[in-house]
Amino acid sequence: MGHEGQRIGGAVGEAAAPLAERLRERGLRLTPQRRRVLAAVAALEHATPEAIGARLREEAGAEGSAPDASTVYRNLELLEQLGLVWHTHLGKGAPVYHASEHPHPHVVCASCGEITSVAPDLLDDAAERLAADLGFTVDVGHVALSGTCRACRERAGSEIP
């Protein structure tokens, strides 16, 4: 499962500062676990809670201790409330988290699972139509469009010529 996708924003370093600030605003504490979870989400670009946990374990190595799974879940939820990460539900039971300055939609290949970030304005037209017709406001950051990526389509094409 590859993971390229266009980078649209959200470098690792940028997220660290807002974290301390937003936590303070709410009287919450800046713990090393929170730093690490946010860093992992940012570094992995698109990751499930499990993958984030694995990454943290990896970073910690054999000696150091990685945050517990429950801590990862709790902090992902918190970080999302703070507006520092977003999550989307894709296939089966795999929510995907990603850190970014600006919300943007994603496309997911149903065949290989590759996730790609796309331009924030992709859905502007659709969003306008929905607002006009139904009074529905689309939350662009949570949108994931499923379909088939170029690589998988070409592969399928060559297998059944």
* Residue 17 CB coordination number (10 Å): 9
Among 54, 69, 118, 130, binds DNA (CB under 7 A): 69
Q: What angle do CA 144, 69, 48 make, to 5 degrees?
A: 20
C-alpha–C-alpha distance, residues 48 and 54, integer Å: 10
Facing residues of 95 across strands?
89
Site string for DNA, 11-30 (x = CB under 7 A): ---------x--x---xxxx
CB of 154 to a copy of itself, least distance (A): 8
Interface with a copy of itself, residue 13, by CB under 8 A:
no
Q: Which residues contact 4 (CB under 8 A, 6 or more apart)?
A: 114, 116
Partner touching 91 among a copy of itself, DNA, none, CB below 5 to 8 Å by kind: a copy of itself
Interface with DNA, residue 150, by CB under 7 A:
no
Interface with DNA, residue 31, by CB under 7 A:
yes
Structure tokens at 79: 């970080």
Q: Is 86 helix (H, G, I), strand (E, B) or coil?
A: strand
Interface with DNA, residue 118, by CB under 7 A:
no
Interface with DNA, residue 58, by CB under 7 A:
no
Interface with a copy of itself, residue 109, by CB under 8 A:
yes
C-alpha–C-alpha distance, residues 112 and 109, integer Å: 6
CB of 83 to DNA, least distance (A): 15
C-beta separation of 140 from 127 below 8 A = yes
Number of residues that bind a copy of itself (CB under 8 A): 32
Among 4, 59, 68, 139, binds DNA (CB under 7 A): 68
Q: Which residue has the tokens 């709410």?
A: 26
Residues forming contacts to DNA in the complex (CB under 7 A) are: 20, 23, 27-34, 48-50, 65-71, 73-75, 77, 92-95
